[in-house]
Structure 1
Amino acid sequence: MNDVKHITPEKEPSSFKLISTLGIAGFLSGLILVSVYLFTKPYIAQNRADALQAAVFEVLPGTTYFEKMYWDGSNITSFEGSVETDIELIYFGYDSTKQFTGVAISGEAGGYQDVIMALAGYNPDAEIVIGLKVLESKETPGLGDKIILDDDFQENFKQLAVVPEIEVVKKGEKVSDNQIEAITGATISSKTIGKLLQKSMETWKVRIDNYFESNAKVNNDED
């Protein structure tokens, strides 16, 4: 008589066990991502700060050193903190003879693909932009990236008046010093630069004017 062997099938893992396993795996993955982010954050911040500060010398011709400044809620004052800060900084440039060369102001605005970040050099006495450096951009190669590569477009920012407000016009239609000639085929990116600059001026122009007026008054009183 043949022996009949009964094979008992293995139990399928319970839903709780599956969910627990997936939960643990997700938690560990998240923990790794957070750890990497926290580890690299100060390096990323430092690299961005280095790139921005290097750009100060490009947008403020003749500058050999600069002073970090910020808005404390009532006045522009000197900043001596860490680069890991959410405080918006501006930069006062000076040449080798300690003569003031202008103010470098950073700004950002939404472009066609993503946020565009740039640094502008500003001459408060003449009320003109004297330089522009795009710091971050993911605009379309061959079109939107011309805001960085197109020499004619960059010429807009050598003597750009900020009064009245900055405007962007089609190429060949510029009639005023406060107008930026857009790049053909990259109108949105061009307008983003104009919007970025106008926003920066709305935030900082009056503050900068008041700062220099106050300091001029103090110096006159001391004399």
Structure 2
Amino acid sequence: MNQTTMTPAEEAAAPAETVAGNPSLLERLERWRPQVAYQGLSLGLICALVALLLLVGNVMTRGTIADQQMQDRLATLRQVLPDALYDNNPLADGFKVQDEQLGEVEVFPARLQGKLTAVVFQGSNIGYGGPVNQMMAVDAQGKILGVRILSHKETPGLADKIEVSRSDWIKSFDGLSLDNTALDKWKVKKDGGQFDQFAGATITPRAVVKTVLQGLQFQVRHAEQLKAE
């Protein structure tokens, strides 16, 4: 039987071809490619690489995201809490209060020369599209200093009027308290209360009003504890 041999020059010129009758690495990979094991291994390697990249990206951006979230919360806090009422850092001094109705509530105290002047806390109720998260500030006498929406998924063009950038509706709570507003007035007008609803979107303002009332009642229930903290 004749066996074709290759000169060293021919072997160097064609490294991917069969050398001395033995299949090259490239040829073996090509033969293995259609097999399920090869495809599974390839998919596994790709998934592992993607997971590694996501992990690295998360680690690298975690600090930046946390800083941005803190800045956003601080910016919102300044909208509801006048600078003249505190000389501390309310966010850094925050503490948690266990409430029998609302569960665990994080409170951010505003102090001026060591005296509690106001408290800021977050609340949430379900609107039309999901949770409507908001922040409110109440002074030591139980009067609302300000309310702002933190996040929501309500219908654009209808229910987004709860945002201060869309309308002044959210400012209608300023100055109100349980002392100057009867309990049965803490509803939208459609339900017999005093707060405007939006055309085609009653559920959203109803949720906001409910959360504000819950915040005032929370402040009353824990007034002494908040002062002690």
- Tell me the TM-score normalised to structure 1 length: 0.66
Q: For the structure 1 residues 100 and 202, does the alpha-carbon distance in structure 2 shift closer, same or farther, using more than 3 Å as the test?
A: closer
- Give 3-state SS (helix, strand or coil) of 2:204's partner: helix
Structure 1 gap ranges (5+)? 1-8, 75-86, 216-223
- Give 3-state SS (helix, strand or coil) of 2:78's partner: helix
- Written as runs of structure 1 = structure 2, the 5 A alignment for 1:165-204 is 167-170=186-189, 173-175=192-194, 180-201=195-216
Is 1:121 aligned to 2:146, yes or no? no
- Give 3-state SS (helix, strand or coil) of 1:13's partner: coil
Identity of aligned residues (%): 21
Bigger relative contact order, structure 1 or 2 (CA pairs below 8 A, ≥6 apart): 1
Aligned to 2:109: 92
Give aligned pairs, total. 187
Question: What CA distance in whole angstroms lies between the structure 2 residues aligned with 1:12 and 1:98?
Answer: 73
More strand by share: 1
| Conservation of the 8 A alpha-carbon contact between 2:159 and 2:201 | yes
For residues 111-137 of structure 1, the C-alpha deviation after alignment (integer angstroms, 9 at most, x for no partner) is: 333433221011242x33221111223
Structure 2 gap ranges (5+)? 1-29
| Conservation of the 8 A alpha-carbon contact between 2:110 and 2:119 | yes
Question: What CA distance in whole angstroms lies between the structure 2 residues aligned with 1:10 and 1:133?
Answer: 64
2:222 to 194, 204, 207: 207
Superposed CA RMSD: 3.4
1:156 to 145, 167, 172: 172
1:46 to 31, 42, 67: 67
Is 1:137 aligned to 2:152, yes or no? yes
Aligned to 2:27: none
| Conservation of the 8 A alpha-carbon contact between 1:170 and 1:184 | no
- Tell me the TM-score normalised to structure 2 length: 0.64
- Give 3-state SS (helix, strand or coil) of 1:103's partner: strand
| Conservation of the 8 A alpha-carbon contact between 1:156 and 1:181 | no
1:65 to 87, 93, 98: 87
Aligned-partner residue type, residue 50 of structure 1: Q
- Which structure has the bigger radius of gyration? 2
